[in-house]
């Protein structure tokens, strides 16, 4: 079988970290693209020089040319500006839409059969921009955020309980913004309800820290946003897609009737396969969680409408 071709657009912190992790998982040949001359070539060469140490099977190439990405199986868009301290993700809307829209349009031209994973913020609105501009079917456009937000929640909950984060099962849905919805009613610790293990007040602290998880790191770094956990989260989704694992992961997907929402990209549990979004799964939420989910939907719809105007 021919090896997968994976293009990562944007060779910045997130793109480079994702490429390294994808190489470690031996998911295929990687093409790293950026508009800055020398940057993707330098990052690709640096990562390639791990090969003797890490046993990478695929190649890693850096480029400033779209032609080198032609025929990709998976394209990951990380191109765009990250937040600075004090900024919301939504403040990146105009500048990043101006990058993601045209990039996505070109993806449909050079890689018409690709699955397109969007990472740039504000995430859910950028998925919408990529979907409309690329014209790709909705099953093949999805966004990475929920895997990261869920991983953050699992870490904080695990630390609070003194158990390994892998033992915490949870889903963070809704938007990749302040309105994200950790579905506490469905969260478990080794199969037992989280609500039986921690008092409500403590859980609220974990929820707030998760919602603020990105900003906490931006505040510490001061020059940009998180990239190690985002890079791993991208690779987790790439693995599910390229290896046709049919894993259930929280991803930003276009809703058309699911969860009572229409024409909005938001975080929902999705089965990922070689076809992209194989299926959106509708899970039970408490009334309060569903109300928070609907608030997130309205906020994203307003951003999407801002894109069109």
Q: Which of residues 76-135 bind ligand TXD (CB under 6 A)?
A: 78-83, 92, 96, 99, 103, 119-121, 123
> Out of 9, 115, 116, 242, which residue is the one contacting ligand TXD (CB under 6 A)?
9
User: Does residue 303 interact with ligand TXD by CB under 6 A?
Assistant: no
> Out of 62, 230, 250, 267, which residue is the one contacting ligand TXD (CB under 6 A)?
230
Q: Where do the H-state alpha helices sit in the chain? A: 13-24, 39-48, 51-54, 93-110, 123-134, 146-161, 194-197, 200-211, 213-221, 228-242, 287-308
Is 176 part of the annotated catalytic residue set? yes
Distance CA 213, CA 48 (A): 31
Distance CA 24, CA 5 (A): 15
Nearer to ligand TXD, 142 or 242 (CB): 142
Inter-residue contact 253 to 147 (CB < 8 Å): no
In the complex, the smallest distance separating the C-beta of residue 143 from ligand TXD, rounded to whole angstroms, is: 7
To 5 degrees, how large is the angle CA 139–CA 231–CA 183? Answer: 65
User: Does residue 27 interact with ligand TXD by CB under 6 A?
Assistant: no
Largest CA distance in the chain: 55
Residues contacting 291, CB < 8 A, separation 6+: none
Nearer to ligand TXD, 27 or 69 (CB): 69
Please give the order of strands across the beta sheet that includes 115-118. 60-63, 29-33, 5-9, 74-77, 115-118, 141-143, 247-256, 262-273, 276-280
- Within 13 Å of residue 178, how many CA atoms lie on the same side as its CB? 7
User: Does residue 11 interact with ligand TXD by CB under 6 A?
Assistant: yes
Which candidate in 176, 180, 232, 233 is catalytic?
176
Q: Are strands 247-256 and 172-173 parallel, antiparallel or unpaired?
A: unpaired
In the complex, the smallest distance separating the C-beta of residue 201 from ligand TXD, rounded to whole angstroms, is: 27
> Out of 144, 168, 170, 251, which residue is the one contacting ligand TXD (CB under 6 A)?
144
Distance CA 18, CA 260 (A): 33
Inter-residue contact 108 to 134 (CB < 8 Å): yes
The helix/strand/coil state of 95 is helix
Q: Whose CB is nearest to ligand TXD?
A: 12
- Within 13 Å of residue 290, how many CA atoms lie on the same side as its CB? 10
User: Does residue 153 interact with ligand TXD by CB under 6 A?
Assistant: no
Nearer to ligand TXD, 165 or 290 (CB): 165
In the complex, the smallest distance separating the C-beta of residue 273 from ligand TXD, rounded to whole angstroms, is: 21
User: Does residue 225 interact with ligand TXD by CB under 6 A?
Assistant: yes
| Interface mask toward ligand TXD for 32-51; x: CB under 6 A | -xxxx--x------------
In the complex, the smallest distance separating the C-beta of residue 39 from ligand TXD, rounded to whole angstroms, is: 6
* Segment interacting with ligand TXD, rule: CB under 6 A, options 20-28, 150-158, 223-231, 289-297: 223-231
Give how many residues touch ligand TXD by CB under 6 A.
35
* Segment interacting with ligand TXD, rule: CB under 6 A, options 13-21, 65-73, 153-161, 190-198: 13-21
Active site residues: 176
Query: Which residues are at the interface with ligand TXD (CB under 6 A)?
Result: 9-15, 33-36, 39, 78-83, 92, 96, 99, 103, 119-121, 123, 144-145, 148, 176, 224-227, 230
């Amino acid at each position: 079988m021919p090896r997968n071709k994976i293009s990562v657009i944007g060779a910045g912190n997130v793109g480079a970290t994702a490429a390294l992790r994808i190489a470690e998982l031996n998911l295929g040949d990687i093409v790293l693209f950026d508009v800055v001359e020398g940057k993707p070539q330098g990052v690709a060469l640096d990562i390639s020089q791990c090969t003797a140490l890490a046993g990478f099977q695929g190649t890693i190439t850096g480029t400033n040319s779209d032609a080198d990405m032609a025929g990709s199986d998976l394209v990951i868009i990380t191109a765009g500006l990250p937040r600075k301290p004090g900024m919301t993700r939504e403040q990146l809307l105009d500048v990043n839409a101006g990058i993601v829209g045209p990039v996505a349009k070109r993806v449909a031209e050079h890689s018409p059969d690709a699955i397109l994973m969007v990472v740039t913020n504000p995430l859910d609105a950028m998925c919408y921009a990529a979907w409309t501009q690329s014209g790709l079917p909705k099953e093949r456009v999805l966004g990475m955020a929920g895997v990261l937000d869920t991983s953050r929640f699992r870490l904080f909950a695990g630390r609070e309980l003194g158990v390994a984060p892998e033992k915490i099962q949870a889903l963070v849905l809704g938007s990749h913004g302040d309105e994200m919805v950790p579905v506490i009613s469905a969260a478990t610790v080794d199969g037992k309800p989280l609500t039986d293990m921690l008092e409500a007040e403590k859980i609220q602290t974990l929820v707030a820290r998760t919602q603020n998880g990105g900003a906490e790191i931006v505040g510490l770094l001061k020059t940009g946003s998180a990239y190690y956990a985002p890079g791993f989260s991208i690779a987790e989704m790439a693995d599910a897609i390229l290896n046709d694992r049919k894993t259930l992961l929280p991803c930003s997907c276009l809703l058309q009737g699911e969860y009572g929402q229409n024409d909005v990209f938001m975080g929902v549990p999705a089965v990922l396969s070689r076809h992209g979004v194989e299926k959106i799964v509708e899970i039970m939420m408490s009334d309060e969680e569903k109300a928070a989910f609907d608030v997130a939907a309205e906020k994203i719809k307003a951003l999407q409408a801002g894109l069109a105007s």
